């Protein structure tokens, strides 16, 4: 499918986010981020902690201010000063799911309150019966029962609490969900359940996700496209299969080598590839994020792009030959 026929739901354009602005040494957490998210896709943002993933997510939700660039949602600018109505619309239609389900729920409020808080604040129901119906529906959508409403978060397991967190987002009927490491804090055995649930809701409701993670193995299963971010800079974007098949940026390759594979014969002799930005050859003109194949972008200057191109052609040639048999 060509990206041209798809509707762009969200556009991040030339975004810089700095902290400690006004101080002597402001910290540039996000550097010139550019990407589009299409309606109905799961777009993953992958990188290590401190790389700026969450900062971008929070900027989309209008929690972090931009120091440069803009964010467009459904054709409208949602960054910086916007009207009260637009602000309301953003808060309703872009929802967030957090890493730590325990910390994101008010421990003293029962499940009914946790889930309905958003529609209560915005009065998104016709009457009390409608309100209750909406809460029940949201709970059932995530595999919980209406009878759970009177319980408190601490009476649930980690996986169930994450379901409550998802119900809390879903009840707003959002168009975009920013999921910030939604399964990192969960036990392995429940991770798969939550991923399945997110996939199911996406298909049923035509949701769009921005899925933030540090682990490529999780992302491969759930996302359509992946952006890899390192030290505030997006270094590679591609469709999931393409990124795994033809990783080009050395940081992407180091992330790939870090995924532990459940096979001792393969895993034991494995050499992890370590990427050290400071040891990189920075000679030549300034690098930028540029397209190397339709939909596949890499961060590099002319010299680096020529290297990536040669490498990519070699891989493509080998694949073509393998196909011929």
Partner 1 sequence: MSERKIILSAKDIEVQFRVRDNYLNAIRGVSLDLYDGETFAIVGESGSGKSVFTKTFTGMLESNGKITNGSVMYDGKDLTKLVSDKDWEGIRGAKIATIFQDPMTSLNPIRTIGSQITEVIIKHQKVSADEAKKQAVDIMDRVGIIDAEKRFNEYPFQYSGGMRQRIVIAIALSCHPEILICDEPTTALDVTIQAQIIDLIKDLQKELKFTTIYITHDLGVVANVADRVGVMYGGQIIEIGTVEEIFYDPAHPYTWALLSSLPQLGVKGQELSYITGTPPSLYNIIKGDAFAPRNKYALKIDFEEEPPFFKITDTHYAKTWLLDPRAPKVEKPEAIRNLHEKIASMTSKGGAYYVEQK
Where along the sequence are the contacts to partner 1 (CB under 8 A)? 48-50, 157-158, 187-193, 195-196, 199, 214-218, 220-221, 240-241, 244-245, 247, 253-268, 270-275, 318-319, 322
Q: Which is nearer to partner 1, 75 or 262 (CB)?
A: 262
- Closest approach, Cβ 69 to partner 1, in A, equals 26
Q: Tell me the three state secondary structure of residue 204.
A: helix
Q: Tell me the three state secondary structure of residue 253.
A: helix
The CB-side HSE value for 257 (13 A sphere, CA atoms) comes to 15
- Closest approach, Cβ 268 to partner 1, in A, equals 6
- Closest approach, Cβ 26 to partner 1, in A, equals 20
Phi then psi for 3, rounded to 5 degrees?
-65, -20
Q: Which is nearer to partner 1, 1 or 322 (CB)?
A: 322
- Closest approach, Cβ 273 to partner 1, in A, equals 6
Q: Which is nearer to partner 1, 65 or 187 (CB)?
A: 187
Q: Which is nearer to partner 1, 273 or 288 (CB)?
A: 273
Distance separating alpha carbons of residues 240 and 236, to the nearest angstrom: 11
Q: Which is nearer to partner 1, 162 or 240 (CB)?
A: 240
Distance separating alpha carbons of residues 145 and 71, to the nearest angstrom: 37
Give the rounded distance of the alpha carbon of 120 from its chain centre: 27
- Closest approach, Cβ 186 to partner 1, in A, equals 9
Phi-psi region of 284 (alpha: psi -120 to 50; beta: other; left: phi over 0): left
Helix boundaries (H) for the chain: 53-60, 84-93, 101-104, 111-122, 128-141, 158-170, 188-205, 216-222, 240-245, 250-258, 264-267, 302-324
Q: Which is nearer to partner 1, 8 or 258 (CB)?
A: 258
- Closest approach, Cβ 116 to partner 1, in A, equals 26
């Amino acid at each position: 499918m060509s990206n041209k026929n798809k509707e762009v739901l969200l556009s991040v354009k030339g975004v810089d986010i700095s902290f400690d602005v006004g101080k002597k040494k402001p910290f540039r957490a996000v550097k010139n981020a550019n990407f589009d998210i299409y309606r109905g896709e799961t777009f993953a943002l992958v990188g290590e902690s401190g790389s700026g993933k969450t900062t971008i997510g929070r900027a989309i939700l209008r929690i972090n201010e931009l120091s440069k660039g803009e964010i467009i949602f459904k054709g409208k600018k949602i960054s910086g000063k916007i009207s009260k109505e637009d602000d309301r619309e953003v808060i309703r239609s872009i929802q967030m799911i957090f890493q730590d389900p325990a910390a994101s729920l008010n421990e003293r409020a029962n499940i009914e309150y946790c889930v309905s808080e958003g529609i209560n604040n915005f009065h998104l129901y016709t009457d009390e019966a409608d309100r209750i119906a909406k809460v029940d529906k949201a709970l059932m959508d995530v595999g919980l029962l209406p009878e759970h409403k009177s319980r408190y978060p601490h009476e649930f397991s980690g996986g169930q609490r994450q379901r409550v967190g998802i119900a809390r987002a879903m009840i707003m009927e959002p168009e975009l969900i920013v999921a910030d490491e939604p399964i990192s804090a969960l036990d392995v055995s429940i991770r798969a359940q939550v991923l399945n649930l997110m996939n199911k809701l996406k298909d049923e409701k035509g949701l769009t996700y921005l899925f933030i993670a540090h682990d490529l193995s999780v992302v491969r299963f759930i996302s359509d496209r992946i952006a890899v971010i390192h030290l505030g800079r997006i270094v590679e974007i591609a469709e999931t299969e393409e990124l795994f098949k033809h990783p080009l940026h050395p940081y992407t390759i180091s992330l790939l080598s870090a995924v532990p594979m459940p096979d001792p014969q393969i895993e034991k002799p494995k050499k992890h590839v370590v990427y050290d930005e400071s040891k990189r050859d920075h000679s030549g003109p300034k690098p930028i994020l540029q397209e190397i194949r339709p939909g596949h972008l890499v961060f590099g200057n002319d010299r680096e792009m020529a290297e990536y191109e040669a490498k990519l052609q070699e891989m493509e040639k080998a694949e073509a030959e393998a196909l011929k048999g």
